[in-house]
């Protein structure tokens, strides 16, 4: 068996143990013995073309390209928040189990959310003085991630409908040239799936199909808020839509810049079917017209897909 040169065959060095400090995942850990050094990596790591004597969560001798563990991805998980006093602490407690760095963008909350966030010292909080919109909150998060030189930014909603334990999956998937890992609630069925409000399902299906057709990309869920982005990809975008339709502008610009997009299956969970979009957007017909307006306007700006 051949070993990497850095794990030299020099027998004179002292026996030592290398442990890469990854944030705890829930899976067991896999120990890999390489001559006299030990690397700890997640059990769910995919090994390819590697001689492995054992695939149980135990000590295994193998040859493994291990350099990635010396420079793990620097990632930030961010939550756009507006009037989430009912869920914010519970969701953040879960998110912190899977992400060491968490940013909350409080988009002008007025229901006590701001006061709850002020009591926490384990998350970063940026406050908008007034409600500026879902897209504006995400843009604030993107700017922060780029400015502070994160490699990856994960976005997750604060309404309890996304499962924070899936954050490491998104981070892991957002590598090897992938720019956007987008959650899809329609790629796979899960035992915990719930039926979505019918109007929302139809609108999502309609808009996802239109985006796929007009932009030449394949999407099954245009609006899922659970995503991971490479900051190198985000730097190419110039997002100006502040409202709920910002993802449509994002898809147009992602296609324009030929960003690599991957969908990732997540459960379909609706805890509050009466949740408001705000104002006239609660009307399904008006909301669909608004989405078409933003999509048409974003495409017209690029002059590429018109």
Interior CA angle at 300 toward 80 and 286, to 5°?
Answer: 55
Name the domain boundary from 54, 71, 88. 71
Three-state DSSP at 298 gives: helix
Q: Could you list the pLDDT tens digit for every one of the 306 residues in the chain?
A: 333 333 333 333 333 333 333 344 433 333 333 333 333 434 333 333 333 333 333 322 332 333 333 346 799 999 999 999 999 999 999 999 999 999 999 999 999 999 999 999 999 999 999 999 999 999 999 999 999 999 999 999 998 788 999 999 999 999 889 999 999 999 888 888 887 778 888 998 999 999 999 999 999 999 999 999 999 999 999 999 999 899 999 999 999 999 999 999 999 887 665 555 566 676 778 889 999 999 999 999 987 765
Under 8 Å between Cβ of 235 and 124: no
* CATH number of the domain encompassing residue 260: 3.90.550.10
Give the burial class of 98: count Cβ atoms within 10 A of its Cβ; 0-12 exposed, 13-18 middle, 19 or more buried. buried
Does one domain contain both 82 and 153? Answer: yes
Does one domain contain both 146 and 102? Answer: yes
Under 8 Å between Cβ of 141 and 66: no
Does one domain contain both 48 and 145? Answer: no
Under 8 Å between Cβ of 179 and 260: yes
- Indicate the Cα dihedral angle 10, 13, 16, 18, nearest 10°: -60
β-bridge mates for residue 154, sequence order? 77, 228
Distance CA(114)–CA(88), nearest Å, equals 10
Does one domain contain both 195 and 208? Answer: yes
Pairing between β-strand 102-107 and β-strand 180-184 as defined by DSSP bridges: unpaired
Does one domain contain both 145 and 247? Answer: yes
pLDDT at 217: 94
Does one domain contain both 112 and 92? Answer: yes
Distance CA(206)–CA(204), nearest Å, equals 5
Does one domain contain both 128 and 273? Answer: yes
Name the domain boundary from 71, 93, 121. 71
Does one domain contain both 225 and 248? Answer: yes
pLDDT at 50: 33
Q: State the residue range of the domain holding 150.
A: 75-302
The domain total for the chain is 2
Does one domain contain both 88 and 63? Answer: no
Under 8 Å between Cβ of 95 and 79: yes
CA distances from 68 to 21, 23, 65, 144, 152 (A): 12, 14, 8, 24, 15
Does one domain contain both 61 and 163? Answer: no
Name the domain boundary from 71, 99, 130. 71
DSSP E strand stretches across the chain: 29-34, 37-42, 60-61, 75-81, 102-107, 124-128, 152-155, 180-184, 227-230, 261-265
Does one domain contain both 37 and 169? Answer: no
Of 223, 175, 203, whose CA–CA distance to 67 is shortest?
A: 175
Instruction: Report residue 300 as tokens.
Output: 């017209």
Does one domain contain both 127 and 215? Answer: yes
């Amino acid at each position: 068996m051949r070993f990497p040169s850095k794990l030299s065959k020099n027998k004179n060095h002292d026996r030592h143990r290398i442990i890469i400090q990854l944030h705890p995942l829930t899976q067991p850990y896999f120990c890999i013995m390489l001559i006299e050094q030990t690397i700890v990596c997640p059990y769910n790591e995919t090994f390819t073309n590697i001689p492995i004597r054992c695939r149980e969560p135990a000590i295994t001798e193998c040859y493994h390209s291990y350099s990635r563990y010396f420079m793990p991805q620097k990632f930030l998980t961010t939550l756009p928040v507006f009037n989430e006093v009912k869920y914010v602490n519970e969701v953040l407690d879960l998110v912190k189990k899977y992400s060491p760095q968490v940013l909350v963008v409080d988009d002008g909350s007025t229901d006590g959310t701001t006061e709850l966030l002020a009591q926490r010292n384990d998350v970063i909080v940026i406050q908008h003085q007034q409600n500026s919109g879902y897209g504006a909150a995400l843009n604030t998060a993107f700017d922060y991630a780029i400015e502070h030189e994160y490699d990856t930014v994960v976005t997750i909603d604060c309404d309890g409908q996304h499962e924070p334990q899936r954050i490491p999956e998104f981070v892991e998937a957002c590598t090897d040239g992938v720019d956007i890992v987008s959650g899809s609630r329609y790629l796979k069925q899960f035992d915990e799936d719930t039926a979505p409000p019918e109007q929302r399902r139809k609108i999502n299906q309609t808009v996802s199909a239109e985006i796929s057709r007009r932009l030449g990309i394949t999407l099954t869920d245009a609006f899922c808020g659970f995503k991971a982005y490479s900051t190198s990809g985000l730097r190419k975008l110039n997002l100006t839509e502040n409202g709920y339709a910002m993802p449509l502008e994002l898809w147009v610009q992602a296609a324009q810049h030929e960003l690599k997009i991957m969908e990732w299956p997540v459960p379909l969970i609706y805890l509050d079917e009466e949740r408001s979009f705000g104002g006239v957007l609660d009307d399904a017909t008006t909301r669909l017209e608004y989405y078409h307006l933003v999509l048409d306007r974003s495409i017209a700006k690029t002059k590429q897909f018109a």
